[in-house]
Every structure is written in C-alpha cells, then in structure tokens.
Structure 1
Amino acid sequence: MRIALFGYGKMGKMIEKIASERGHDIVARIDVDTPKIDFSNMDVAIDFSMPDAAFANISNCFEHGIPVISGTTGWLKDFDKAVTLCREKEGAFIYASNFSLGVNIFFELNAYLAKMMKNLDQYDVAMEEIHHTQKLDAPSGTAITLAEGIIKNSNYDTWKLGQGDGKEIGITSKRIESVPGTHTVAYNSAVDSIEIKHTAHNRQGFALGAVTAAEWIVGKKGVFTMKDVLNLG
C-alpha cells in the first residue's frame, strides 16, 4: 500500500516506522513547507498535521480521489464540510480523536457505563486528561469524545473545561512532560466512586491504529469510524 503522510512530526515518523514494518511504502511526507503535491501515486493519506492545515489537506485528497485517515484535532469546526465533500466526491474518510485500539475499546466501555449510571442521581461524573506539554489543545480530542459519549447516553447536556455544574461534565486538563496520554472518567457519590481509566505508555498505539485504519479503508467508499474498523458496532 502506498501511503502519504500529511504532517511529519513525531506522529508522522512513528506512523512511517510502523507502516514500513508492515510492508507499506511511504510515497510522500508532506509538511508546511512542502511544494507541489503529487497525488497520482497515493493509495491512502494519513493526516496528523496542524489544525489550520487539516481541512485543506483532507479536501485536496478528496478532490483527487484519495481516501483519508485523519487524526488531527482542533479543526472540527470544518468537520461537517469535510463529510459533505467526501460524500459528494464518493470518497472514503475516517476521523478519530484517538486511533489507539485500546482507547476505542475504552470509548465503548465509557458509553456502556454512562447508560448504567444514567438514573443514579447520587453520582456526579468528572473527567481528567493528562498529556505531554507539547499538546496544544485542551481538553484533548479524546476527552471531548468521551464527554460526548456520556452526553449521548445520560442526562448530561454539555461539557466544560474545569469544574462541572449540574448538567455539565467537568473536564480537568493537565500538561506534564513526557506523558503520552491518560484519561480517567469518574462517577463520585458521598459513599463511593467508580472509575475507568486508559493510560497510554507510548505513541505506538496511536500510530498502529492509524495504519490499521488505512489498511481497512482502501477500496471502500463512505464516512466511517474506528467502530467500523474494529467491528465494535
């Protein structure tokens, strides 16, 4: 499989390593100063670029018939436009706030737990996410996805960064050197607490998930999620 990498930072380099180990070819490494892009020899694009570049990268791929795996966060104001363009061009698209296979299982556990806790008003939910100091956005895209999973399956209406109140899910964000990513969802009452937690030990899980999604999407048309890739639905 011929893979183009949009964004060649730490994640891009990790994806390159894993993709090469799995027998794939990296045919383009595209960063902010890359000149004209040749789309003719790509089978799939994996985008881990900057938030202000992601939508343009994704759109250009759809215009040239290239399936896209997007792991960039912070650009989602344009997500609906990307989905619309993908469908107009009969393309293929997967966006995930986190491609780790373990995190995507964690998403499903989170949604299931929210359903069970829905009518237990004595519990208040709170979330914490911890990442390395180079992470620019807060809360993390993964934390937002977790919050949305709770909102969809509970009586909460929204989330906010900081202390929650009533129908708001509070999300605490911490930035600590060399932490790949830790997410905790806690339901607290006066008598006990229930917690689920995912701890990433390194970036390899994110990169492996992105390459797995790229392998899965080639030859397909439509807008998918990691639930489709992992057959979790």
Structure 2
Amino acid sequence: MKIALIGYGKMGHAIEEIAVKKGHEIVLKINIDNVEEMMPENLQRADVAIEFTGPESAVENLEKCINAGVPVVSGSTGWLNKWEDIKKLCNDRGGSLVYASNYSIGVNLFFELNSYLSSLMKEYGEYDVVMEEIHHTQKKDAPSGTAITLAEQILQNVKRKKNWVNEQSNSKEDLVIISDRVDPAPGTHKVKYTSAIDDIEIIHTAHNRIGFAGGAVKAAEFVVGKKGIFNMKDVLGLG
C-alpha cells in the first residue's frame, strides 16, 4: 500500500514507522514547509492519505484528497463545524473517508464502555457526572476531540445533562469537561460519576503514540478499495 502522509509531526513520524514495518511505502510527506507539493498529481501517487494536522488546515486537506479521488483517513480534531460540508463533498464525489477523534483501539473500546455505563446511569439522578482530559501542551484544541465524543455519548443517555461546557459551572444541566495541558502527556481521559455515597470512575491513559498510529494504519488498510464515510467502529467491526 502506498501512503501519503499529510502532517509530518510526532504522529506522522509514528505512523511512518509502523506503516514501513508493515511493508507499506510512504510516497508523499507533507508538512508546513512543503504544502505546495500537495497537488492532485502527487496525492494520486498514493493508494490512501493519512491526515493528522490541525483545525486550521484539516478541512482544506480533506477537500484536496477527496477532489483528487484519494481515500483519506483523518485524525485532525477541532474542525467538525464543517463536518456536513465534508460529508456532502465526499458523497457527491464518490469519495472515501475514515474519520475518528481517536484511532487508538483501546480508546475505541473505552468509547463502548462509556456508552454502556452512561446508559446504566441515566436513571440514577443522585449521581453527577464530570469529565477530565489531560494532554501535552502542544495540543491546539480543548477539549480534545476524544473528550467531545465521550461527552456526546453521555448526553445521548443522561438526559439530565443538556450540554457540555469546558469550564466550571454551577448548573446541574452542564456536563463539565476539565482540560489540563501538561508535558509529557500523550492523553488521559476520565469520566466520573459521583454521589454522596460513592463514586464510579472509568479512565483511559495512553502511554505513547503507538496505539494512535497503529489504529490509523489499520484504518488506512481498511478503507482502500471502499467508497463512503466510515469510523473506527466500522474499522474494528464493533457494529
């Protein structure tokens, strides 16, 4: 499989290392210094593109890949206000897109656990629920895309919470997400249900970037030859 890497920072290097070990070839590496090389003819040398950049560049990167007819795996967060536009473009162009806020297999199992736990807790109003996420100081968006996914799962089930906020709040209707930025910290996410009697807490802690990078390569292997919009539940066969 030939891969175009869009974003060649720490994640890009980790993805390259895993992809090469699995026998794949990196045919294009795009970073902030050579964005002019991201032309259709260069993208089309690849079977799939893996895009890990930032909220300010992700949408344009996805548009270029889709318009070039190249399947794309995106892990950029902070741009989902443009999700419907990208979804429409992908469908109109017969494109292929895998999007996930987090490609770690462990995190995606954590998503399933979070969804199930919130479905159990919805009837027990004596429990409040709060969230905390910890990342390295270079992470540009807060809360993290992973935290937002977890929060939206909770809001789907726990109807006494009406929306999430990224600040302290005295309203019982707000789901508070506390965002901390500490080095070095690949990523920790906590969901805590607390009452006067006891607490129930689930935690996922990443030790390094290998899990994220390995999941992204797995997603790239999955999407080649397919058309449509997919997520990690599709990649991992979680239903």
Q: TM-score, normalised by structure 1?
A: 0.98
By how many angstroms is 1:217 displaced? 0.6
Q: Distance in 1 between matches of 2:178 and 2:57?
A: 27
1:167 corresponds to 2:144:
no
Aligned to 2:110: 106
Supply the AA of the counterpart residue of 2:201.
E
Q: Kindly indicate whether the alpha-carbon contact (under 8 Å) linking 2:3 and 2:26 is maintained by their aligned counterparts in 1.
A: yes
By how many angstroms is 1:74 displaced? 1.4
By how many angstroms is 1:151 displaced? 0.8
**Of 41, 45, 48, the match for 1:41:** 45
By how many angstroms is 1:40 displaced? 2.4
**Of 167, 186, 197, the match for 1:191:** 197
After TM superposition, the runs of 4+ consecutive aligned structure 1 residues lying more than 6 A away are none
Gaps of 5+ in 2: none
Summarize deviations over 1:55-108 as a string: whole Å, max 9, x none: 111011111111110001111111111111000011111111110000000001
User: After the TM superposition, which residues 137-156 of structure 1 pair with which residues of structure 2 at under 5 Å, given as runs?
Assistant: 137-155=141-159, 156=161
By how many angstroms is 1:32 displaced? 2.2
Supply the AA of the counterpart residue of 1:57.
N
Summarize deviations over 1:108-130 as a string: whole Å, max 9, x none: 10011000000100000000001
Q: Distance in 1 between matches of 2:62 and 2:138?
A: 24
Gaps of 5+ in 1: none
Aligned to 1:53: 57
Aligned to 1:178: 184
SS in 2 for 1:46: strand
1:230 corresponds to 2:236:
yes
Summarize deviations over 1:5-61 as a string: whole Å, max 9, x none: 111101001100000001100000011232233122110010001221111110111
Deviating more after overlay: 61-70 vs 154-163: 154-163
Count matched residues: 233
Q: Give RMSD over aligned pairs.
A: 0.9
Indicate the percent of aligned positions where both proteins have the same amino acid. 55
Summarize deviations over 1:126-177 as a string: whole Å, max 9, x none: 0000111111111111101100011112212210012242121101111111
SS in 2 for 1:220: coil
Aligned to 2:120: 116
1:204 corresponds to 2:220:
no
By how many angstroms is 1:179 displaced? 0.8
